[in-house]
């Protein structure tokens, strides 16, 4: 059983005090266990959020570091790995919730592997979120699948929202800090692990998620992630369904047609996606058309 752990939480414009309190309470109850909880604020612009998170410093074995400049999702995680004091690291996104009373124990007693991913599950509320595109997307996505399904595709179904890793592995194979904008830094890291034969074990140790932003905001984040994907398309080839479908469009000589379709269909599709009846089918069509619209070099 692992007897020491650094719990690392990157955050940006999000209050994570209750998450830290839940983790600290579990860690403090474990016998003969050394731990720290380190929260790094990645240049938040919301001063109230920063003020509320400063209470983290009053909790035992907890640190809260304020960074003046936003360096991005990859660099802030690498920074946390370098700051950590213990040989095992547990990375948790700041918008997650602890939903299992034995969450830390499950990780500490799990079969030893270089990387262990616990997954996450959404809090179902179909009536409340029936018009929310992000909620619908999460409900049907593989990211919300059980651990046996995830283990069938261990590198493709890996995310940085809830995973434990040996510090030496993280330092030897850091996240690519060229990824500053939103999206795909975890996908490329999964590829890096696979290429270097670093084993990922998927287990049933989920965190809860219920941060469902509005449809327009989710669409903007999706567009940002697709711009990131286009920027790193060579490195991510074979690790993105959007890239796979775009390659098929190229092989079928449909790229010019799709590029002409985008300005004609983008506004009607966006209206559908941001309305009361968002469709995953049209969401996938929009993602492909938007990506091909961006990708002028094929």
Q: Which residues pair with 10 in a beta bridge?
A: 40
pLDDT at 211: 81
Q: What tens digit of pLDDT does each residue of 26-69 get? A: 999 999 999 999 999 999 999 999 999 999 999 999 999 999 99
Q: Which residues pair with 208 in a beta bridge?
A: 97, 121
Which secondary-structure segment (H or E) carries 66? Answer: strand 62-67
Cβ-contact 129, 212 below 8 angstroms? yes
In order of their start, the domains of the chain are 4-209 (3.90.550.10), 215-294 (no CATH)
| Percentage of the chain exceeding pLDDT 70 | 98
Q: How many helices (H) and strands (E) does the chain have?
A: 14, 9
Overall average pLDDT of the 125-153 stretch: 86
Q: What tens digit of pLDDT does each residue of 257-273 get? A: 999 999 999 999 999 99
**pLDDT confidence tier of residue 144, bands split at 50, 70 and 90:** low
Nearest of 229, 237, 218, 201 to residue 280 by alpha carbon? 218
> For residues 155 and 109, what is the distance between their CA atoms, to the nearest angstrom?
22
User: Looking at the predicted structure, is the pLDDT value of residue 298 above 50?
Assistant: no
- pTM (two decimals): 0.94
pLDDT at 146: 82
């Amino acid at each position: 059983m692992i007897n020491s752990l650094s719990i690392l939480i990157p955050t940006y414009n999000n209050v994570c005090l209750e998450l830290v309190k839940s983790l600290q309470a579990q860690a403090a109850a474990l016998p003969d266990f050394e731990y720290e909880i380190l929260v790094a604020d990645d240049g938040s612009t919301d001063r109230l959020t920063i003020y509320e998170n400063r209470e983290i410093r009053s909790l035992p074995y907890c640190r809260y570091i304020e960074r003046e400049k936003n360096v991005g999702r990859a660099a802030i995680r690498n920074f946390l790995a370098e700051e950590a004091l213990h040989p095992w690291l547990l990375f948790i996104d700041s918008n997650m919730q602890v939903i299992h009373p034995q969450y830390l124990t499950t990780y500490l007693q799990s079969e030893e592997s270089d990387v262990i991913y616990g997954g996450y599950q959404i809090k179902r509320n179909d009536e409340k979120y029936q018009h929310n595109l992000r909620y619908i997307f999460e409900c049907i996505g593989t990211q919300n699948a059980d651990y046996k399904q995830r283990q069938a595709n261990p590198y493709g179904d890996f995310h940085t929202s809830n995973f434990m890793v040996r510090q030496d592995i993280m330092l030897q194979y850091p996240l690519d800090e060229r990824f500053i904008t939103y999206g795909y830094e975890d996908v490329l890291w999964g590829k890096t692990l696979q290429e270097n034969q670093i084993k990922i074990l998927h287990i049933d140790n989920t965190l809860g998620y219920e941060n469902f932003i509005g449809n327009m905001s989710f669409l903007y984040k999706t567009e940002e992630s697709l711009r990131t994907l286009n920027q790193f398309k060579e490195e991510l080839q074979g690790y993105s369904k959007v890239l796979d479908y775009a390659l098929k469009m190229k092989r079928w000589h449909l790229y010019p047609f799709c590029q002409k379709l985008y300005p004609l269909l983008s506004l009607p599709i966006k209206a559908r996606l941001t309305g009361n009846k968002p469709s995953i089918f049209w969401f996938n069509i929009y993602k492909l058309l938007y990506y091909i619209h961006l990708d002028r070099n094929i």
